[in-house]
Copies of this chain bind each other. A is one copy, B any other.
Amino acid sequence: MPDSLKLGLAGLGTVGAGVLRLIDAHGGEIAGRAGRRVEVVAVSARDRSKKRDAVIENYRWVDDPIALAQDPEIEVFVELMGGEEGIPKEAVEAALKAGKHVVTANKALLAHHGVALARLAEASNVALNFEAAVAGGIPIVKVMRESLQGNDFSRVYGILNGTCNYILTLMQEEGTSFDDALKDAQAKGFAEADPTFDIGGFDTAHKLALLTSLAFGVETAFDQIYVEGIERIAAADIEAADGLGYRLKLLGVAAATEHGIEQRVHPAMVPKHTPIAETFGAQNCVVVEGDFVEDVMLSGQGAGAGPTASAVMGDIIELARGHVLAPFATKVADLKPYPQAAMGTHAGSYYLRLTVHDQTGVIAGIATRMAEQDISLESIVQHRPRTDIPGVDDGEEPTGPVDVVMITHETTEGAIQKALAAIEGDGHVVAKPQMIRIESL
Contact = CB atoms under 8 A, between A and B. Distances in A.
Nearest to A145: B33
Contacts of A321: 323, 325
A396 interface: no
A296 interface: yes
A138 interface: yes
A284 to B, nearest CB: 10
A85 B278 CA distance: 42
Contact of A147 (B142, B294, B295): B142
Which of A277, A292, A298, A300 is most buried by chain B, counting CB atoms within 10 A of its CB? A292
B151 A310 contact: yes
A35 B274 CA distance: 37
Contact of A143 (B139, B150, B313): B139
Contact of A294 (B143, B151, B300): B300
Contact of A137 (B138, B274, B296, B307): B296
B309 A292 contact: yes
Q: How many copies does the complex hold?
A: 2
Contact of A278 (B277, B293, B318): B277
Contacts of A299: 275, 296-297
Contacts of A294: 137, 300-301, 304, 306-307
Contacts of A293: 137, 300-301, 306-307, 310-311
Nearest to A276: B275
B152 A148 contact: no
Interface string A413-428: 0000000000000000
Contact of A149 (B152, B313, B334): B313
A300 B292 contact: no
> In which size bucket is the chain A interface?
35 or more
Nearest to A288: B300
A32 interface: yes
Contact of A300 (B29, B35, B297): B297
A25 B291 CA distance: 10
A131 interface: yes
A147 B314 contact: yes
A279 B290 contact: no
Contacts of A312: 150
Nearest to A273: B278
A342 interface: no
Interface string A128-169: 000100000111001100111111100000000000000000
Interface string A308-339: 01111110111001010100011100100000
A298 B298 contact: yes
A334 B32 CA distance: 8
A143 B138 CA distance: 9
A142 B137 CA distance: 15
Interface in A150-196: 150-152
13 contacts: A139-B143, A147-B314, A150-B310, A150-B313, A150-B316, A275-B275, A275-B299, A292-B309, A292-B313, A293-B307, A295-B300, A296-B298, A297-B297
Given A34-B149, A275-B279, 8 more contacts: A35-B331, A147-B311, A150-B314, A150-B316, A293-B310, A296-B298, A297-B298, A321-B323
Question: Which 8 A-B pairs give the minimum distances between C-beta atoms?
Answer: A150-B313, A139-B147, A293-B310, A296-B300, A275-B275, A137-B293, A292-B310, A292-B306
